[in-house]
Amino acid sequence: MKDLLDVHMHTIASGHAYSTLREMIEAAKQRGLSLVGISEHGPRMEGSCPEIYFCNFKVIRRDAYGIDVRMGAELNILDYTGSTDLPAQRLRDLDYAIASLHDICIDPGSVEENTAALIGAMKNPRVNIIGHPDNPYYPVDFDALARAAKDTHVLLELNNSSYRPGGSRQGSWEKGKELLAACKKYGTAVILGSDAHIDLDVGAHERSNALVSACGFPEELVINRDPTAFKRWIGEK
């Protein structure tokens, strides 16, 4: 399968990542990607960017690096209604937004609570992607999640970092199979994300691709194969 974009990654601005904006973009070019997106953690993540960081993306020329560049954010979901940590005014400054559950920002709840948190975030018209929804630490109803993602025009992520042996979200591979079964059932689109915190990991989707293959998931529902389709997708929100 063609894999031409990666829009989940963090630079030194996120506080616990180790490469610069230019280094991440250059790594994406070396990988042969056509589109790269930078998604720093929202301000409620310890050590990450303050809100003001996200207000000046206009100075970053999207076409100046020999590759399509998009500037987004990985928002932190803060409660079980799906509230996130950037206000509507600031969200309008982003090209796209990922919303994710992180234990620094919200305690794991019941299946019903976690599912409500993710679906609540999807209802925000500025949210385009749900990050690592197959994290076993936050059990969810995958059927309800896939239906809601289809209805709200939100992509569900297959996070390559989640499937790394010894990583922080152990058990995600098996949960990922359940997620893809639900997405296949409802025709819900997914996106592969590296969640790179250093330039060496930009575009690294090997484990996510292996999961797609293992599940016989339809390639046409994986948006990484078509950067133009991704740009249309975020433009519709």
- Domain ranges for the chain: 5-235
Chain segment 22-73, per-residue pLDDT in tens: 999 999 999 999 999 999 999 999 999 999 999 999 999 988 899 999 999 9
Predicted confidence band of residue 167 (pLDDT cuts 50, 70, 90): confident
* Residue 54, helix vs strand vs coil: helix
Q: Is the dihedral of CA 91, 97, 100, 104 positive or negative?
A: negative
Q: Which fold has domain 5-235?
A: TIM Barrel (3.20.20)
74, 40 Cβ separation under 8 angstroms: yes
CA angle at 93 for the pair 88 and 97, rounded to the nearest 5°: 75
- pLDDT higher than 70, residue 236: no
Burial of 44 (0-12, 13-18, 19+ CB in 10 A): middle
pLDDT at 193: 98
Whether 237 shows a pLDDT value over 50: the answer reads no
Single out the residue of 1, 8, 4, 2 nearest to residue 201, CA to CA.
8
- Determine the Cα–Cα distance for residues 120 and 82; give it in Å rounded to an integer: 4
Question: What's the Cα-to-Cα distance from 185 to each of 122, 142, 150, 190, 218, rounded to whole Å?
Answer: 19, 11, 11, 13, 11
Strand 5-6 relative to strand 129-130, pairing: unpaired
